[in-house]
Amino acid sequence: MTTDTLPSESPDRLRADMVAELKEGAWIRSPHVEAAFAKVPREKFAPEAPLSAAYSAQDTVVTKRGHDGRATSSISAPWLQAEMLESAQLAPGAKVLEVGSGGYNAALIAEIVGPCGLVVTVDIDPFVTERAGRFLAETGYAQVKVVLGDAEHAADEHAPENGFDAIIVTVGVWDIPWGHLLAPGGRMVVPLRFSTVSRSLTFVHDGDHFLGLNPTVCGFVPCQGAGKLPDQEAVLADGAIRLTLESGPALDVASLDQALTAERTELWTGVTVGRGELFDSMHLWIATADDRFGMFWKDPDCKSGLIEPAMRWYCPLLITHDSFAYLTIRRPQRHEAAEHRWEFGTCGYGRAGAELAQQLHDHVQTWDRDWRDHPIPTFTLYPADAAPPAPTVGRIFRKRHTQLVMTWS
Ligand SMILES: C[S@@+](CC[C@H](N)C(=O)[O-])C[C@H]1O[C@@H](n2cnc3c(N)ncnc32)[C@H](O)[C@@H]1O
């Protein structure tokens, strides 16, 4: 039977379609990653999802939620799994650590590294390790070692003598305590948070530090346990709005909530963006320039009277303890191709709202003028006790185990 003759709703057909989409998007780039996606039955690791959802190349399947309704575990989106597996450059026989389990990604890794390889997957949640172990056994991947524990330390005793050839982290982390477990020449793929921005970075050794390659915009459920994110969150308007700041002064939630009902400042930047045009380097620039940078989220179903944020997820924000300004968009007033473009604006609330709106406005203009057409910044990672060279333009994000250096040039 060819893929054309498979029933349209069969898992085999949906799997073949997913692989075709992942290849077309260049998320799958090598034959062994393709062969793994073509073989592993994704639906067996996500039995709660309809088949079409399990095989959507762009979507995650949430497998557990916390008391607040937010996901604490999921089977990640196929495009991101493919991207991270390609970045890890796994070879047959490789010894691999996966941080954060679910079973499916570990099965893909097991397919790629083959019978001579090693796959260790660690998860902090017994609900996740129980089902991951069961699904792996049922689908023929019982050789995967499923470990229950906080990955901050739990992987150490399972590391091969010379370290893992690859470490693939599948949970959003703020720091990297696994550098010592990586074999010389190995690769470590990590969705790393800095100043509330997330990028999956592929770290490779470079002398006394790591280079962080292939930055990829991504979103993962947040790390729990010892590596919990240090974020502060202000939940406003009965849960319809969330403001997130990594550190800085304690947020005064009552004042921030009250600020929403007062007069706002609205500014327009003249900076425009076209349909499908990427502008994720803007987030990196504002995070470089301003340590009040954070993220704004508004429930799209809430009719609050607020000007809509520029994007549903990862909308830039500047915030102080009692005031904030976020990025918004509108159709430009004057532009030759106005119908195909949007103009960035800023909206400020609270005592310092006007000032924050002006500063966010200025950051957007600086990004547009000086950095928009530059290559994205480079990343290096040093141990926490090292003295990394300070970038001329950039920022050092200091963490407990490491320091991430972002350099614009
Ligand atoms: C996105 S899921 C993993 C996806 C999975 N690798 C797959 O096959 O698609 C992230 C997992 O990380 C786990 N996790 C969160 N904090 C952790 C920690 N400190 N140590 C180990 N696992 C953790 C969560 O319980 C969750 O199951």
Is residue 19's pLDDT more than 90? yes
Q: Which two tokens stand for residue 316?
A: 């830039």
How far CA 90 is from CA of 77, 95, 239, 356, in Å, comes to 19, 9, 42, 46
- Which residue's CA is minimally distant from atom 24 of ligand 1? 73
How far CA 52 is from CA of 16, 46, 366, in Å, comes to 12, 11, 44
Instruction: Report the C-alpha gap between 186 and 357 in whole angstroms.
Output: 44
Is residue 94's pLDDT more than 80? yes
The tally of CA atoms less than 13 A away on the side-chain side of residue 229 is 22
Instruction: Report the C-alpha gap between 44 and 138 in whole angstroms.
Output: 9
Is residue 335's pLDDT more than 70? no
The pLDDT of residue 333 is: 73
Q: Is the CB of 83 under 6 A from ligand 1?
A: no
Is residue 58's pLDDT more than 80? yes
Q: Which two tokens stand for residue 231?
A: 């974020």
Do β-strands 324-330 and 341-349 pair in parallel, antiparallel, or remain unpaired?
Answer: antiparallel
Is residue 181's pLDDT more than 60? yes
The tally of CA atoms less than 13 A away on the side-chain side of residue 264 is 20
Q: Is the CB of 221 under 6 A from ligand 1?
A: yes
Q: Is the CB of 129 under 6 A from ligand 1?
A: no
Contact residues for 362 (Cβ-Cβ < 8 A; gap 6+) = none
Taking only the tens place, the pLDDT of each residue in 200-256 is 999 999 999 999 999 999 999 999 999 999 999 999 999 999 999 998 899 999 999
Whole-model pTM?
A: 0.95
Q: How far is the CA of 354 from the centre of ligand 1 (A)?
A: 40
Instruction: Report the C-alpha gap between 98 and 47 in whole angstroms.
Output: 22
Q: Which atom in ligand 1 lies closest to the alpha carbon of residue 220?
A: 1
**Residues catalogued as catalytic:** 76
Q: What secondary structure letter does DSSP report for 120? A: E
Mean pLDDT of 171-188: 98
- Which residue's CA is minimally distant from atom 21 of ligand 1? 123
Mean pLDDT of 79-85: 98
Phi, psi angles (nearest 5°) of residue 244: -120, 130
Do β-strands 164-169 and 402-407 pair in parallel, antiparallel, or remain unpaired?
Answer: unpaired
Q: Which atom in ligand 1 lies closest to the alpha carbon of residue 104?
A: 8
CA torsion through residues 392, 393, 398, 404, sign: negative
Give the DSSP per-residue string, 216-255: EE---PBP-GGG----EEEEEGGGTEEEEESSSSPP-HHH
The pLDDT of residue 91 is: 96
Contact residues for 8 (Cβ-Cβ < 8 A; gap 6+) = none
Is residue 1's pLDDT more than 70? no
Mean pLDDT of 305-315: 87
* Contact (Cβ atoms closer than 8 angstroms) between residue 397 and residue 195: yes
Q: DSSP strand E in 76-150: where?
A: 95-99, 118-123, 145-148
Taking only the tens place, the pLDDT of each residue in 121-147 is 999 999 999 999 999 999 999 999 999
Categorise residue 299: left if φ over 0, alpha if ψ from -120 to 50, beta otherwise.
beta
Tell me which amino acid residue 152 is: E
Q: Is the CB of 111 under 6 A from ligand 1?
A: no
- The confidence band for 9, taking pLDDT boundaries of 50, 70 and 90, is confident
Q: Is the CB of 179 under 6 A from ligand 1?
A: no
Q: How far is the CA of 185 from the centre of ligand 1 (A)?
A: 25
Testing ligand 1's pocket by substitution, the residue of 125, 171, 224 carrying the most ligand atoms inside 8 A of its CB is 171
* Contact (Cβ atoms closer than 8 angstroms) between residue 89 and residue 100: no
Neighbours of 320 (CB within 10 A): 21
Q: How far is the CA of 81 from the centre of ligand 1 (A)?
A: 13
